[in-house]
């Protein structure tokens, strides 16, 4: 009887060990061993006016040329705005695969600007599940127009404005992506006592992929500050257009009611109104150069 009990006990232990091994094998088969990061949420580092979640990889330089023409309602005499042009030149470089910096110069208000964009989270599946991508953008703009009143004491710091943004994006599927952009703008000097130094806004953007190289884009920023406390009538910037990728270049063609091309200019500085025809045709041209090659690009 004892031998029978001992044999039965050893059999149960053996079955338990085999069952545990089988269970571990099943769990290992069902548990992903790699993390798959989402790519190409947007085609460019800009949706149109505002930044997208995308950034330049380490060692790559993006040379950007942006134009905003006059308004369509300026009529045939001004060739519906094409006789007038404002230009922004920019250089953007990937320091690491999570940090990008950039500098630029805009003809509008003779503004110099610089920014840094930090990637915090990457949308991913597999071993690491992350539903969204998150980046932080911080920028500074220097307005170099001559002060209108040269008789008073004018401070250099009055020319500065600062921007902070959180970029939260999700690639819903292979053809559709969305982004929300809570934004804060601080202007050291404003036109009148009525104007607030701080402006809050919430941006929203979307991309709809039409073909392998063409996508439709939309972008909108809602200003949170009450409009009654501003000395001039401003409107929420709205832009619609499309991207065309040609291999080495990305062309962004669109219509917008904002003439400014930096965050400080189009957030709280858009005076055009769509329903009145204050619409600017604009485009961005992006050309990427590889300055530092890597043997193997890291997967993050």
- Give CA–CA dist 239/217, Å, rounded: 8
- Residue 258, Cβ neighbours under 10 Å: how many? 27
Query: What are 125's two structure tokens?
Result: 């599946």
210 & 279 share domain: yes
- Give CA–CA dist 92/80, Å, rounded: 32
Count: domains in the chain: 2
**239 has pLDDT over 80:** yes
Mean pLDDT of 108-127: 94
13 & 100 share domain: no
47 & 101 share domain: yes
68 & 198 share domain: yes
Confirm whether 272 is domain-assigned.
yes
Q: Which of 152-161, 166-175, 230-239 has the highest mean pLDDT?
A: 166-175
Using a pLDDT cut of 90, give the percent of the chain over it: 66
Mean pLDDT of 174-193: 94
pLDDT at position 146: 87
**21 has pLDDT over 70:** no
> Torsions phi, psi of 176, nearest 5?
-135, 130
pLDDT at position 32: 64
Confirm whether 231 is domain-assigned.
yes
pLDDT at position 192: 84
CATH number at residue 190: 2.40.160.40
- Give CA–CA dist 9/15, Å, rounded: 10
pLDDT at position 294: 64
2 & 109 share domain: no
27 & 138 share domain: no
pTM equals: 0.84
**154 has pLDDT over 70:** yes
pLDDT digits (tens, 9 = 90+) for 43-92: 999 999 999 999 999 999 999 999 999 999 988 888 998 999 899 999 99
130 & 279 share domain: yes
pLDDT at position 153: 80
Range of the domain at 13: 1-31
**15 has pLDDT over 50:** no
pLDDT at position 18: 46
Mean pLDDT of 5-25: 49
């Amino acid at each position: 009887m004892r031998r029978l009990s001992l044999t039965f006990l050893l059999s149960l232990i053996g079955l338990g060990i085999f069952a545990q091994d089988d269970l571990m094998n099943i769990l290992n088969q069902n548990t992903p061993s790699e993390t798959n990061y989402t790519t190409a949420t947007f085609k460019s580092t800009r949706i149109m006016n505002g930044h997208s979640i995308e950034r330049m990889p380490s060692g790559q330089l993006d040379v950007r040329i942006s134009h905003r023409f006059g308004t369509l309602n300026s009529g045939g005499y001004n060739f519906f705005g094409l006789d007038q042009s404002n230009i922004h030149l920019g250089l953007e470089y990937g320091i690491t695969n999570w940090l990008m910096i950039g500098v630029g110069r805009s003809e509008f208000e003779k503004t110099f600007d610089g920014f840094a964009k930090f990637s915090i989270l990457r949308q991913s599946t597999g071993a690491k599940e992350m539903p969204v991508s998150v980046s932080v953008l911080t920028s500074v703009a220097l307005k170099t127009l001559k002060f209108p009143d040269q008789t008073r004491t004018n401070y250099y710091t009055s020319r500065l404005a600062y921007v902070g943004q959180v970029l939260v994006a999700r690639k819903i599927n292979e053809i559709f992506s969305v982004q929300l952009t809570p934004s804060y703008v601080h202007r050291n000097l404003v036109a009148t006592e009525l104007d607030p130094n701080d402006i809050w806004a919430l941006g929203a953007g979307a991309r709809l992929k039409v073909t392998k190289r063409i996508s439709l884009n939309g972008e909108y920023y809602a200003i949170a500050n009450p409009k009654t406390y501003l000395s001039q009538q401003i409107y929420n910037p709205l832009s619609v257009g499309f991207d065309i990728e040609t291999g080495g270049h990305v062309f962004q063609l669109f219509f917008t009611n904002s003439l400014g091309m930096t965050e400080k200019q189009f957030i709280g500085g858009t005076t055009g109104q769509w329903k009145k025809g204050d619409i600017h045709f604009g485009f961005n041209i992006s050309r990427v150069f590889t300055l530092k090659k890597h043997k193997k690009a890291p997967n993050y």
